[in-house]
A and B are shown apart, each in its own frame.
Chain A
Amino acid sequence: MAKNIAMVKNMKKLKVIIIRTAGTNCDYELQSAFELCGADVDRVHINELIDNKNKVMSYDILAVPGGFSYGDDIASGKILSNELKNKLGDNIKKFALSKKPIIGICNGFQVLVKMGLLPQPEQFEQISTLSYNDSNKFECRWVYLKTEKKNDKTLCLWTKDLPEVISLPVAHGEGKFIADEKILAQIEKKSQVVFRYCDKNGAKADYPLDPNGSLNAIAGICNEQGNVFGLMPHPERYIYSLQHPAREGYDGVYGWGKKIFQNAIEYLK
């Protein structure tokens, strides 16, 4: 009997919403990543959400993928962040504060930061930004990331049990994380930095291993609760070891990016 209940429970798949709009790109690979981890995924156009504002809360996990939303006109992610905040702000904030997992990747990270969902969803105001890479060029390359831990544990639910250094690809022109000293100190103090660019041993690295010159080499941050996560690198492009330039991974088949999505699913189970 108990076994049957467990089976039924397992059968109820978690539901992921990937929000997309004009210029969204990385939605299919993100969908594949969540599906591989056993979730049901809907890619939903923002117009549909605006027409049906309560729809968002019917999902367990929310993801904003990479791309060039609205062409990154004005600044990267700016228009979509305004649209989400002004038209769906209450619903998204509620989602974040209910401790459901949210991930913003690349352009999605830019959107979360610019709408103020990171680093402080409670405050819900933009207090940091992502700006042009120091190289002043779009940079597509693999980088090493140091997984930040405090007392051997990650604050961010998405990066639980990751090795100390992993590699992921980046592909962006505006990935330099910037915040004023006070905010930056606060983010550091509360251990909200999730990933930092580094060399293969986890030590500080220069360009090109640090692809953009972010303050404190920040590649990803989360909120104080650890459920809202934004990062410039693309974990959804490293689901299989085949996707790694030297075909490294774990279990012979998978890439470390998969573990990040798996973590969100397991957190909810």
Chain B
Amino acid sequence: MNVNIIEIINLDDKQLVELSKKNVLSLSLVEMKEVQKYFKNIKRNPTDVELETIAQTWSEHCKHKTLTGNIEYCEEKNGKKVTKKYKNLLKETIFKATVELNKKWCLSVFKDNAGVIDFDKTNGVAFKVETHNHPSALEPYGGSATGIGGVIRDILGVGLGAKPLANTDVFCFGLPDTKSSEVPEGMHHPKRIAKGVVSGVRDYGNRMGIPTVNGAVFFDKGYMANPLVYCGTMGIIPKNKTSKEVKSGDLVLVVGGRTGRDGIHGATFSSVELDKESDVSAVQIGNPIVEKKVLDTMLKARDLKLYRGVTDCGAGGLSSAVGELGEKTGVVVELEKVPLKYKGLKPWEIWISEAQERMVFAVPSKNKKKILDLFKKENVEATFIGKFTNDKKLTLTYNGEQVACMEMSFLHDGVPKPTRQAVWKEQVIKKQSPVKVSAAVLSSDIKNVLADINVCSRDYIIRQYDHEVQGQTVVKPLQGNSITNSGPSDAAVIWPYTVVKNTKKAIVLSNGLNPEYGKIDTYKMAASAIEEAIRNAVCVGADPEKISLLDNFCWGNPNKPEILGSLVRASQACYDLSKGFDIPFISGKDSLYNEYTIAGKTYSIPPALLISAMGVIDNVGNTVTMNLKDSGNYIYLIGVTKNELGGSVYAKNKNIKGGFVPGLDIKNSKKLIKKVNSAIVKSLVEACHDCSEGGFITAVSEMAFAGEKGVTIDADLIKVDDNKMTLAEVLFSESNTRFIVEVKPENSSDFEKIFKGHIFSKIGCVSDDKNLTLTSKKSKISIKENIINLQKAWQKTLQW
């Protein structure tokens, strides 16, 4: 007897809930009742294999039940209540914008393992960002390593397989100087988590030979128990390989790693809150070299047309991968044929294990020998384990005994839609009292902001990643005028000349993230993150008409109406901004239930929406970096500075209460961003950097020390919307839609023509004296700071 029959038909509600909890099925009572109904109909109880398969397939992780479920949303603004019902939040916001924009250059959106857009006549580029939060909380090194390993496989598993060109990573951690006594029982210290996560990404990414080129790190005490680990991969794929077509009679081939007991219940465990009892065996064990061999060989098999479909084993393991490929046909799998790391696995464990580095292929039987030979030549294990049928059923056997048999339609479409309540109440926000500082205080404030944990240099992390392997990283994460000085790049540019011979085109990757704003308003947080990602891409030369976006929501428990309300707000912002900017989302992911219970009290993470942008540049020679180039050049500030200190780094540092979170005028922003791009395309721009965390003064300092140049600024020339703003408010406000641009004097009139009718001003020039000199007659303040000291302040904080 290889399987257990689980009694479900005769259980009452209470017993159903107990069964779900005991077996880590993470299914709600409504869902358990649906399962019960199915088996009552076919007049038998399920096997453990069947029940586990349902739980994996129906998991939040695989099915995104919250974002695609019913939501009753109630918004309270100016004392008025407005309600709205969503039948599928994703389809009615983010995806809706993509459908309405209907871009011809979007080749595959929201349906495969990654979004794919047009690169050139023959190639597309695919991009996907995943989260691996729960595993990284329990086992930081293994959790993040398998996070990056998993998203690389998403790219290998998109269409018939793309070649990975670059990785990205974005982390949210607790504060690294947290006292040990404040760390909840059973949790790792935030610094240990941070170091472990960075090492995991380093060792996996570097060994895969994929450069990690773009990212962000955000520290906040709210992520102490629930660190966030976002891993992304971008790859290139021939356009005629972007879709799969599995046929009845094709064979099921599993390739790569062996199956073990690691990662059991990974998919379902990600939908429960963590506590000190959380089981570390749910974390997978990675081996990058096994995955590298799969990458090397499978692309050969792809080009020889040896298979018709491929997908990766991620959450839910074989159960999800084989289930997806066989959804339309039906499939029979002989579980005893699956190669194991060691003996003793039960059939259900084989089927749902999330052991790493495995890909599943649909292979026409005539190619059976050819494909096995190809993998064998490079010592890659490949084993046929079953066959796609035409009965639209999932059938599993173990040594000849049938251990599962269910309708595909029940498995994939049978999950009942939950209905959840969501509320949002507008907070009344007041302007902060005017922030007045002396010259001396301003000087130290500038350095403190540069040294802030959320602004300071990430070179400790970036330099541990091989961000130049493949030789195609032409705008690097750290850029400078020489190889010894550097500042933070707005975005990375990959020029795929080794794959596409003689190409001039390049791919831009950037991101936007600021959970600080979300503590006040998630709509504004989402809007700012979207614009920041776009701004960053445009700064290096991306054409805003060829940018696509990814969304990654990390939120708390959606069963709590306030938390779900903030999620709805952010989704609405995604729709509004996507439509407003005419920039589509092409893929996304959500990770919910990021919460932790200590002594009976539950803590949720500050909501975090990561926006990743991918753009295409026609001429790689037209890319721009952020470091100042030559003394005598003019400095322009494009855009208006508003009194927006709410959620700013400065407000946090100075403990300023109140203040508006940066808003966004989409119409104006869209026009201005397009103009910045025109100026870059016309080669009128020497350097370009966007203003974000830390405000104008931070951005201009970064440009100066990265270029080893001084800069002279007349702060009174900065265009503001409120003449009562103090100098500190002007310098540290984090208003959106602002770019600092360096222009040669001889190009200045052409440059100014482009921006005619928009708010901008020439505020200073590049100097040779290596000082940041800033004056404001209005405020009677003049300061002079050596750029080397500014750079030191920026670099000192994160050197572990």
A259 to chain B, nearest CB (A): 16
A198 to chain B, nearest CB (A): 12
Residues of B within 8 A of A209 (CB): 484
Q: Which residue from B468, B483, B495 sits with its C-beta under 8 Å from A234?
A: B468
B773 contacts the other chain (Cβ, under 8 Å)? no
Given contact pairs A25-B469, A70-B289, A71-B289, A246 touches B464 in the complex (Cβ within 8 A): no
A28 contacts B470, C-beta separation under 8 Å: yes
Question: How distant is the Cα of A138 from the Cα of B461 in the complex, in angstroms?
Answer: 10
CB closest chain-B residue, reference A66: B469
CB closest chain-B residue, reference A211: B463
A242 contacts B468, C-beta separation under 8 Å: no
Question: How distant is the Cα of A28 from the Cα of B209 in the complex, in angstroms?
Answer: 11
Which of A7-15, A111-119, A141-149 forms part of the interface with chain B?
Answer: A141-149
Residues of B within 8 A of A167 (CB): 483
Question: How distant is the Cα of A20 from the Cα of B209 in the complex, in angstroms?
Answer: 13
B471 contacts the other chain (Cβ, under 8 Å)? yes
B206 contacts A138, C-beta separation under 8 Å: yes
Please encode chain A, from 230 to 269, with 1 for each CB lying within 8 Å of some chain B CB and 0 for all others: 0000101101101101100000000000000000000000
A190 contacts the other chain (Cβ, under 8 Å)? no
Residues of A within 8 A of B472 (CB): 29
Q: Which residue from A26, A31, A144, A243 sits with its C-beta under 8 Å from B469?
A: A26
With an 8 Å Cβ cutoff, the count of chain A residues facing the other chain is 41
A45 contacts the other chain (Cβ, under 8 Å)? yes
Please encode chain B, from 474 to 512, with 1 for each CB lying within 8 Å of some chain A CB and 0 for all others: 101001111110100000000101110000000000000
- Of A32, A47, A200, most buried by chain B (CB within 10 Å of CB) is A32
A246 contacts B482, C-beta separation under 8 Å: yes
B625 to chain A, nearest CB (A): 8
Residues of A within 8 A of B462 (CB): 140
Question: How distant is the Cα of A237 from the Cα of B464 in the complex, in angstroms?
Answer: 17
Given contact pairs A67-B209, A68-B207, A242-B621, A140 touches B289 in the complex (Cβ within 8 A): no
Question: How distant is the Cα of A48 from the Cα of B202 in the complex, in angstroms?
Answer: 31
Q: Which residue from A68, A141, A245 sits with its C-beta under 8 Å from B289?
A: A68
B483 contacts A144, C-beta separation under 8 Å: yes
Question: How distant is the Cα of A137 from the Cα of B463 in the complex, in angstroms?
Answer: 9
CB closest chain-B residue, reference A142: B483
B377 contacts A45, C-beta separation under 8 Å: yes
Residues of A within 8 A of B206 (CB): 68, 138, 171
B483 contacts A23, C-beta separation under 8 Å: no
Please encode chain B, from 278 to 311, with 1 for each CB lying within 8 Å of some chain A CB and 0 for all others: 0000000001110011001000000000000000
Residues of A within 8 A of B484 (CB): 200, 209
A139 contacts the other chain (Cβ, under 8 Å)? yes
A23 contacts B481, C-beta separation under 8 Å: no
A22 contacts B292, C-beta separation under 8 Å: yes
A169 contacts the other chain (Cβ, under 8 Å)? yes
CB closest chain-B residue, reference A237: B471
B620 contacts the other chain (Cβ, under 8 Å)? yes
A26 contacts B207, C-beta separation under 8 Å: no
A25 contacts B209, C-beta separation under 8 Å: yes
A140 contacts B474, C-beta separation under 8 Å: no
Residues of B within 8 A of A68 (CB): 206-207, 209, 288-289
- Of A26, A68, A144, most buried by chain B (CB within 10 Å of CB) is A68
Residues of B within 8 A of A142 (CB): 483
A140 contacts B482, C-beta separation under 8 Å: no
Given contact pairs A171-B469, A245-B476, A140 touches B207 in the complex (Cβ within 8 A): no
Question: How distant is the Cα of A45 from the Cα of B474 in the complex, in angstroms?
Answer: 29
A21 to chain B, nearest CB (A): 8
Task: Scan residues 160-210 of chain B and give those whose CB is less than 8 A from a CB of chain A.
Answer: 202, 206-209
Question: How distant is the Cα of A239 from the Cα of B377 in the complex, in angstroms?
Answer: 32
A242 contacts B620, C-beta separation under 8 Å: yes
A253 to chain B, nearest CB (A): 10
Q: Which residue from A26, A139, A242 sits with its C-beta under 8 Å from B209?
A: A26
Question: How distant is the Cα of A112 from the Cα of B466 in the complex, in angstroms?
Answer: 22
Residues of A within 8 A of B468 (CB): 140, 169, 171, 234, 237, 243
A167 to chain B, nearest CB (A): 5
Please encode chain A, from 178 to 218, with 1 for each CB lying within 8 Å of some chain B CB and 0 for all others: 00000000000000000000001000000001000000000
With an 8 Å Cβ cutoff, the count of chain B residues facing the other chain is 41
A47 contacts B377, C-beta separation under 8 Å: yes
Residues of B within 8 A of A143 (CB): 483
Given contact pairs A28-B499, A71-B289, A236-B471, A140 touches B466 in the complex (Cβ within 8 A): yes
B709 contacts the other chain (Cβ, under 8 Å)? no
B760 contacts the other chain (Cβ, under 8 Å)? no
A71 contacts B474, C-beta separation under 8 Å: no
Given contact pairs A29-B498, A45-B377, A237-B471, A245 touches B479 in the complex (Cβ within 8 A): yes
Residues of B within 8 A of A141 (CB): 463, 483
Residues of B within 8 A of A45 (CB): 377-378
B379 contacts the other chain (Cβ, under 8 Å)? yes
B467 contacts the other chain (Cβ, under 8 Å)? yes
A22 contacts B289, C-beta separation under 8 Å: yes
A242 contacts B474, C-beta separation under 8 Å: yes
B710 to chain A, nearest CB (A): 18
Residues of A within 8 A of B470 (CB): 25-26, 28-29
Question: How distant is the Cα of A110 from the Cα of B378 in the complex, in angstroms?
Answer: 22
Task: Scan residues 581-638 of chain B and give those whose CB is less than 8 A from a CB of chain A.
Answer: 620-621
B312 to chain A, nearest CB (A): 19
Question: How distant is the Cα of A28 from the Cα of B206 in the complex, in angstroms?
Answer: 16
Residues of A within 8 A of B497 (CB): 32, 240
B491 to chain A, nearest CB (A): 15
CB closest chain-B residue, reference A239: B471
B385 to chain A, nearest CB (A): 23
Question: How distant is the Cα of A167 from the Cα of B596 in the complex, in angstroms?
Answer: 49
Given contact pairs A28-B470, A236-B471, A239-B471, A22 touches B378 in the complex (Cβ within 8 A): yes
Given contact pairs A143-B483, A144-B483, A47 touches B463 in the complex (Cβ within 8 A): no
A246 contacts B483, C-beta separation under 8 Å: yes
Task: Scan residues 206-263 of chain B and give those whose CB is less than 8 A from a CB of chain A.
Answer: 206-209
A163 to chain B, nearest CB (A): 15
Question: How distant is the Cα of A158 from the Cα of B480 in the complex, in angstroms?
Answer: 29
B751 contacts the other chain (Cβ, under 8 Å)? no
Question: How distant is the Cα of A20 from the Cα of B480 in the complex, in angstroms?
Answer: 34
B465 contacts the other chain (Cβ, under 8 Å)? yes
- Of A24, A171, A234, A240, most buried by chain B (CB within 10 Å of CB) is A171
Q: Which residue from A25, A32, A48, A140 sits with its C-beta under 8 Å from B467?
A: A140
A107 to chain B, nearest CB (A): 10
Question: How distant is the Cα of A22 from the Cα of B611 in the complex, in angstroms?
Answer: 34
Task: Scan residues 20-68 of chain A and give those whose CB is less than 8 A from a CB of chain B.
Answer: 20, 22-26, 28-29, 31-32, 45, 47-48, 66-68
Question: How distant is the Cα of A48 from the Cα of B470 in the complex, in angstroms?
Answer: 24
Given contact pairs A138-B206, A237-B468, A246 touches B289 in the complex (Cβ within 8 A): no
11 A-B pairs (CB sep. < 8 Å) = A26-B209, A26-B471, A47-B379, A66-B469, A68-B206, A68-B289, A138-B464, A140-B462, A140-B465, A142-B483, A171-B466
Give the 7 A-B residue pairs with the shortest CB-CB distance, closest first.
A25-B209, A29-B471, A142-B483, A237-B471, A71-B289, A171-B466, A28-B498
**Which B residues fall within an 8 A CB radius of A?**
202, 206-209, 287-289, 292-293, 296, 377-379, 462-474, 476, 479-484, 486, 495, 497-499, 620-621
Q: A200-B482, A237-B469 are in contact. List 4 more A-B contacts (CB 8 A).
A: A22-B378, A68-B288, A171-B468, A242-B620
